[in-house]
Structure 1
């Protein structure tokens, strides 16, 4: 789980970091990364790749601007539709304003009411349960020669035709491995609808697409790999990755 704390008060930064670390021990979070930012500009420059494991804990008032946290939350949501956003602030009068900003915040915790530790713990338990559920669900099962194997869906970039065997295709992973599968692209497309046929020779995983270069007609993946996309499929693919 990746925690991103936006708080301009040094004492509050230390307090929140210590609290998150304590909660992680209580609920047995073994893989935790905590990042602290003092300004919205710092956070804007440090935005990570989209992931369900990203958790943004935001104070509303930063450097005297009461709605700074709300403003940066809009940018976060535009950049990362999968992230979890939690507001922790003394300005609980803005609780209903968050709905206007349409950032789908998970929680709004008032610093001067209730127990922040308990509320934050409930949120992190919920997020961790969602992450674990998605890890179980989002896998791809495939046959390679005599074996039936599984790979996390998020580890797949695309599939391409195998020029040496029309009855198989090649799966290219995020760590640049090439794995031959006992399906051609048409068969694979029928078996698993999570992949998109962007070109007669390529089937892509929309979850790993960073952007589409309409000028050169290529798909660009988060790890830097690229593959061609036909002009007639560009719009449909663009609409798919915007969801």
Structure 2
């Protein structure tokens, strides 16, 4: 069985196999699986340790208000764990329509906050633009050192910089993108970009 993402309810009904036993079987056949236990009983966590399920997370049924958010978080964590085994770096995010979208990090030019929209970002990629559900700080935590937050609502990819105008505090990217640089970030940007250029081929 290939690595996958599994949401298991501890109580699957009287005529079904126990979710904990099922989790143990999945773990035995798929060591790389990301298993999330869904239960109404917090004490069930102890049982999962006994059966060596190695659950990646737990979601409580009685916290209805948080369930959707927790499920989204677990889906992204599970997908990213699976993607981490691949050679080309990718991240998984939710699009505005709620579907899951896998992004190739190396193809992302820049990221910007959508004005007056809560938890909405616009990602400029090599082959188009995608709007996603996230915050600038959340997506920044998923990126490597080739990305830099040059202004509160903007993150740029060093790979696609054509020129930096220090006086005007503007970064010019490929495809004509012009991204402002905050005064506070200017010196750090120059230092980080120089470091990137020196180490790019290593």
Q: TM-score, normalised by structure 1?
A: 0.40
Q: TM-score, normalised by structure 2?
A: 0.47
